[in-house]
Amino acid sequence: MNNLSEGGPRMSHLSQSALSRRDFLALTGASVAAAAFPQTASAQAQLPAAELTSLTLKQASDLIKSKKVTSLDLTRACLDRIDKYEPVLNAFITVTAEKALAQAREMDAETAKGKRRGPLHGIPIALKDNIDTAGIRTTAASLLFAERIPIEDAEVLRKLKSAGAVILGKLNMAIFAGSTLSTYYKPAINPWAPDRTTAGSSTGSAVAVISEMCFGALGTDTRGSIRGPAGVCGLVGLKPTYGRVSNRGVIPYIWSLDTVGPMTRTVEDAAIMLQAIAGYDVADPSTVNQPVPDYVSGMKRAVKSLRIGTPSVPYFNDLSEEFRPAVHEA
């Protein structure tokens, strides 16, 4: 991972051909099998390191809780996968391997003493590179910020660290989270179809999660920058209500619309991550001082009585007739 060190921009890239859809499906077949045929915690603990990354965030959390697997096991498995696929997929701008391993050891030491911070305890995740990390460069994928090193963590990162999350590094994105997919670094590659877009701007977040390089990631969404990549890459992406999550320490695109949110492989995992980052921030006037509900319990409630409003004008004016019936039936 020398080309993705914590201190400076990428200096070199391995020359590899892009993965085909068939290759990637073959490589991630274990993930599909794990989802279709859930195993017991004991059986999961015996998975090879390469297959540990196919667990959902919740499954990995349960294994740490039951001491069937360690945070160090999960972190090493993620770093191995990053080593293997990052040169092709370009999901990361900076990998913080040594820091992540140190964090994992710290979380394992707490686990050994009977301390558990919550469901994110010891879970390896990653951050979009517009989220400030003290002592680690935060570039927003821009040449202008290529050597920018914040002195303070963003509030969402402070909350994640407090919850016990292990930070693997900083993820690729469209420059300054803009509407194009331009980046000072090589663009992130859609692992399902390398010739297709990842959508943007949270490109690396989507690619890293669906490629099983991490168990979850944070993105930011202004006009679809979480939801678009999640939809295109086949994962769960949530833009929380504006004011629910602090933007303090996040490089802005449109400050009155920007929102930090989770990107994961399941809805439950998204709820777990949102639970950790949501809440009032006295230093961020955009946040709202209201209690944070239990998102994990809330997602299990029946939806039969819920009603969804859909503003038809102007949003559906140009909707293709081919898709109109499917949208209304949904």
Give me the active site residues, please. 128, 201, 225
Q: What is the DSSP string of 256-272?
A: TT-EEEEEESSHHHHHH
Query: Using alpha carbons only, how large is the chain's radius of gyration in Å?
Result: 19
Query: What is the spatial order of strands in the sheet that 124-128 belongs to?
Result: 92-95, 166-171, 124-128, 217-221, 259-264, 236-237
Rounded-to-integer distance, Cα 284 and Cα 247, Å: 7
Q: What is the DSSP string of 96-154?
A: -HHHHHHHHHHHHHHHHTT----TTTT-EEEEETTB-BTTB---TT-STTTT---SS--
How many angstroms separate the first and last alpha carbons of the chain? 44
Whether the CA torsion 82, 88, 92, 95 is positive or negative: it is: positive
Q: Which two tokens stand for residue 324?
A: 């109109």
Q: Which two tokens stand for residue 208?
A: 């890293």
Q: Which segments of the chain does DSSP mark as H helices, in order?
A: 21-27, 29-36, 41-45, 49-52, 57-65, 71-89, 97-112, 155-162, 203-210, 227-233, 267-277, 295-298, 324-329
Contact 203, 197 (CB under 8 A): no
Which residues, at least 6 apart from 274, have a Cβ–Cβ distance to it below 8 Å?
238, 240, 245, 261, 262, 295
- Angle formed by the axes of helices 57-65 and 71-89, to 10°? 150
Contact 207, 189 (CB under 8 A): yes
